[in-house]
């Protein structure tokens, strides 16, 4: 299925075949690549030709996307996912 969506930086998309969400970070038309970030924070570079073959839908940002977790870390003054007790166990 040919994808008619234009990759827009900061826009979230859902791969309807894989049922995964990701956002476009940047588009380099000279190189023919798109940098994307999955909702879990995984970074990937894909070719524009690959983008065109994906079955995509534009979607809202998922709850607790990786950038939102980073913002929460800043708000609480550290990594909220790790307690001070956990840090005592670190070498």
In the chain, the number of structural domains is 1
Model pLDDT for residues 14-71, shown as the tens digit of each residue: 999 999 999 999 999 999 999 999 988 899 999 999 999 999 999 998 876 555 555 6
Residues of the domain holding 39: 12-78
What are the φ/ψ torsions at residue 14 (nearest 5 degrees)?
Answer: -115, 125
**60-69, pLDDT tens digit by residue?**
988 765 555 5
Residue reference for tokens 């980073």: 70
Both tokens assigned to 52: 């065109």
Asked if the structure places residue 7 within a domain, the reply is no
Domain contains 91: no
Where is average pLDDT lowest: 39-48, 67-76, 78-87? 78-87
Distance CA 33, CA 27 (A): 6
């Amino acid at each position: 299925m040919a994808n008619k969506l234009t990759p827009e930086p900061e826009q979230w998309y859902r791969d309807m075949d894989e049922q995964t969400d990701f956002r476009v970070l940047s588009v380099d038309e000279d190189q023919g690549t798109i940098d994307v970030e999955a909702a879990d924070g995984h970074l990937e570079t894909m070719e524009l030709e690959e983008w065109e073959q994906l079955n995509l839908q534009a979607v809202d940002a998922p709850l607790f996307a990786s950038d939102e977790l980073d913002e929460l870390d800043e708000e609480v003054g550290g990594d909220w996912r790790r307690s001070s007790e956990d840090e005592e166990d670190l070498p």
